Amino acid sequence: MSKIVFITGATSGFGRAAATKFAQEGWSLIITGRREDRLQAIAEELSQSVPVHYQTMDVSDKEQVAAVIESLPDAFKDVTCLINNAGLALAPQPSQSVELDDWHTMIDTNIKGLVNVTHALLPTLIRVGNGTSIINVGSIAGAWPYPGSHVYGATKAFVKQFSYNLRCDLLGTGVRVTDIAPGIAETEFTLVRTKGDQAASDALYQGTRALAAQDIANTMFYVATLPDHMNINRMEVMPTDQAWSLFAIHRQ
């Protein structure tokens, strides 16, 4: 029996790369996301080598999340690893220029979505026991502020603290919890954040070597396949070309 990974936000970026990596290593896949055409294409590709179950799912809808998990086929019920990848950033403008709906969307996806999926799968992970993993995709924005991060950074700070708190509650169950916090990574992240501004996305990555989605997928697989007695609480991953900067100072 192969191990089973449940991936949210599997249609692009880190989630899509994780699906490919885990499939290459022989894991069965449960892939979810909101874009059915992409899910179907990924399933058709990866099911050539491993069992794949896909289901459209909006993580912010708790009833839908519960229904998807409750209806998993028997062959996919013993989930070994949950990757809470679904999330997004919107509105890189200053807080005073942002639409309130964009803040709510980030909260609904990055916080409520994470909570909904985790709560629904916890009984399964505890039942399966030793060696199971919850991998939450955070961000360096959860620890380090920057202009335009506002609610996005705050949601990722929630991911960090929620992961730590889960570790406390799950002590003795064999379930591990890790917050993986990437730095700058070249995915669809900036396109989504700027609502399709390709020039803004290109400018962000121009002249530097950002992380690739595959880098984070490899990190996820490493975390998920550590010996059962090992837990990485938090892993902050930046490209070599990224570091911290000076404090901002307003001058008259």
Give the integer Cα–Cα distance in Å for 200 and 232.
Answer: 34
Collapse the DSSP code of 26 into the 3-class scheme (helix H, G, I; strand E, B; otherwise coil) and give the result. Answer: coil
152 is catalytic: yes
Task: Kindly name the residue from 152, 164, 205, 222 that is annotated as catalytic.
Answer: 152
Helix axes 13-24, 213-224, angle to 10 degrees: 50
For 52, the token pair is 């794949």
Is residue 226 a contact partner of residue 177, using CB atoms and an 8 Å limit? no
Distance CA 119, CA 115 (A): 6
Distance CA 224, CA 81 (A): 7
Work out the angle at residue 177's Cα, subtended by the Cα atoms of residues 172 and 182, and round it to the nearest 5 degrees: 165
CA nearest to 86, candidates 139, 39, 137:
137
| Active-site amino acid positions | 152
